[in-house]
Amino acid sequence: MGAHMRPQPTMKLYVLFVVSFSWAFHEIPSPKYQHRDPLTSEPLLCDQCPPGTAVLTHCTASSPTACSPCPARSFSEHWHWGDSCQFCTAVCKERQLVRRECNSTHDQLCECVPGHHLLVEFCVKHTACQPGYGVIAPGTPDSDTVCEACPRGHFSSRLSASEPCVPHRNCSELGWKMLRQGTPTQDTLCENKSKGSVLECSHHQTLCHADISLCEEAIFQPLASLRLSTVPLERLLESLPGKRVDGKNLEGLKKACSPQHQILHLLRLWRRQNRDQDKLYGIIHGVSQCERKVSKCASLKDLTLGDLLAVMDSLPGTKVPVEDIRAMVSSCRSPQYLLQLLHLWKNLNRDMDLAKGLAQSPRRLRLQGAPQPLIRSIKKINRIISTSSIHKMYEKMFHNIIHDGSCFKTKPHNE
């Protein structure tokens, strides 16, 4: 080879660059592309440049293709013969986050935030399975939730994008008597054979029970959800003032209920156990007084199924299924309808503030032309619950339970 054909030092670096890429790609022959020699105009088969690079100079009859690395914030994902790299995506779209930063061989990769999936070009919320259906495949950033009707012996009681159907409670295994067979939307309802107390931990309760208390639910459910969820049930049982709940009931709750429901039902049992305790009068009977007022306002006669459906439509959040409202109507007297319906709704919307939910109802009922006594009743119930200060006493008491387990060994509670 003559001196005029000898490769220059710079060209050697380009050749070495190409050779190093060949080694990196396990000596796989590079793809070719056609290019005419600029001097002879003869067609040549040139090597393409590997991912992460772009063509610096095309091959000639005497030299191979020279490739150069992609500049910052640019990339090339495949072998190609272009003389430039692609610019990296600057920002992700709405409801997306960066899964992988841009590099020389890949663009920035964005994916939908948790709870959403990509549909066409937009991130939309995962579908929540309806009551009676459970999740068999949770949603991912690329796919929606997959729901399936609950099989025989299983149920799902609320809208959820994460919860599968769960088996019905087995009353006989717990030593309890079955009051109501489970359905696709309700758990089995059990009753203690010896004491007659009802064990109900599911979200639905279509049988008619006189001890339903919206005041109790407004106080106990937020505490059970937020403040007491990390406190062991045994510690809570020991710390509660007054008469202690029977340990057998505690074991039954632990077997049959979720952790959140265990606390809720323990607090209900504790309150019933201490109804006659004078030293707990303020904290126990404050709820009782609220109950009496709410029950009086909720006792409306001649409410129809249409009225109840209108109430449910006026409330925010998850709706009580129509079949559960029908079942409630079939087992309750008319003056109990409203209280039972609000109880069912609250059980489906445990994280929702009861007073705020009820505050929206009157205006929507008025637009639907609902009876005035019904609208006034809901306004009064909301006023009673909103103005009651008893929840502050409970919050203070349970705050002490969490932060000072010995506080009830002294006055005024446990003497």
Answer yes or no: is pLDDT of 166 > 80: yes
Q: How many CA atoms lie within 13 A of 75 on its CB side?
A: 15
pLDDT band at 24 (very low <50, low <70, confident <90, very high): very low
Q: How many CA atoms lie within 13 A of 262 on its CB side?
A: 22
Distance CA 233, CA 253 (A): 10
- What would the pLDDT profile of 290-343 be if each residue is shown by its tens digit? 778 888 888 888 888 899 999 999 999 888 888 888 877 777 778 888 988 888
What distance separates the 2 farthest-apart alpha carbons in the chain?
Answer: 114
Answer yes or no: is pLDDT of 56 > 90: yes
What is the average pLDDT across 206-229? 61
Pick from 92, 90, 145, 93: nearest CA to 117: 145
Handedness of CA 150, 152, 158, 163 (dihedral sign): negative
pLDDT for residue 392: 65
Answer yes or no: is pLDDT of 5 > 50: no
Across 46-60, 91-105, 391-405, least confident range: 391-405
What is the average pLDDT across 20-41? 72
pLDDT for residue 27: 54
Across 12-16, 261-265, 306-310, least confident range: 12-16
**Where are the domains positioned within the chain?**
9-87, 190-407
pLDDT band at 112 (very low <50, low <70, confident <90, very high): very high
Answer yes or no: is pLDDT of 25 > 80: no
pLDDT for residue 20: 42
Answer yes or no: is pLDDT of 33 > 90: yes
Instruction: Give the highest mean pLDDT range of 18-22, 41-45, 204-208, 355-359.
Output: 41-45
pLDDT for residue 169: 83
Residues 127-153 as b or e (16 or more Cβ within 10 Å = b): ebbbbbbbbeeebebeebbebeebeee
Distance CA 116, CA 306 (A): 36
- What would the pLDDT profile of 270-289 be if each residue is shown by its tens digit? 777 777 766 666 666 677 77
Residue 175 identity:
G
Query: Tokens at residue 161, please?
Result: 């994008």
pLDDT band at 16 (very low <50, low <70, confident <90, very high): very low
Work out the percent of the chain whose per-residue pLDDT is above 90: 29
Query: Tokens at residue 259, please?
Result: 């952790």
CATH number of 9-87: 2.10.50.10
Answer yes or no: is pLDDT of 15 > 70: no
